[in-house]
Amino acid sequence: MLHTLRIFPTLTILNNDLVKTIGYKNPRYLGDPVNAIKLFNNKNVDEISILDISNRFGTRENYVNFPLLKEMAQEAFVPLSYGGNIKNSKIAEAIINIGFEKVILNSIFFEDSYESKSIINKIGSQSVVFKIDYLIKQNHFVVFFNEGKNSIKLTHKELLNVIQESGAGEVILSRIDYDGKMNCYDYENLSFLINSLSIPVVLSHGAKDKNSIFEAYRKGFLSFTASSIYVYYGKLNAVLINDPFYKQ
d(CA 174, CA 136): 11
Segment (H or E) for 56: none
d(CA 169, CA 102): 10
Look up residue 199 and give its amino acid. Answer: I
Q: Is 131 exposed, middle or buried (0-12, 13-18, 19+ CB in 10 A)?
A: buried
Taking Cα atoms as reference points, which of 176, 173, 179, 219 lies closest to residue 199? 173
d(CA 82, CA 61): 16
133 among known catalytic residues: yes
For residue 199, the SS3 value is: coil
d(CA 213, CA 79): 22
Inter-CA distances, 191 with 1, 117, 161, 187, 236, Å: 19, 27, 15, 6, 32
110 near 158, Cβ under 8 Å? no
Taking Cα atoms as reference points, which of 106, 103, 10, 120 lies closest to residue 55? 106
Q: Which of 52, 133, 179, 186 is catalytic?
A: 133
Residues marked active site are found at: 133
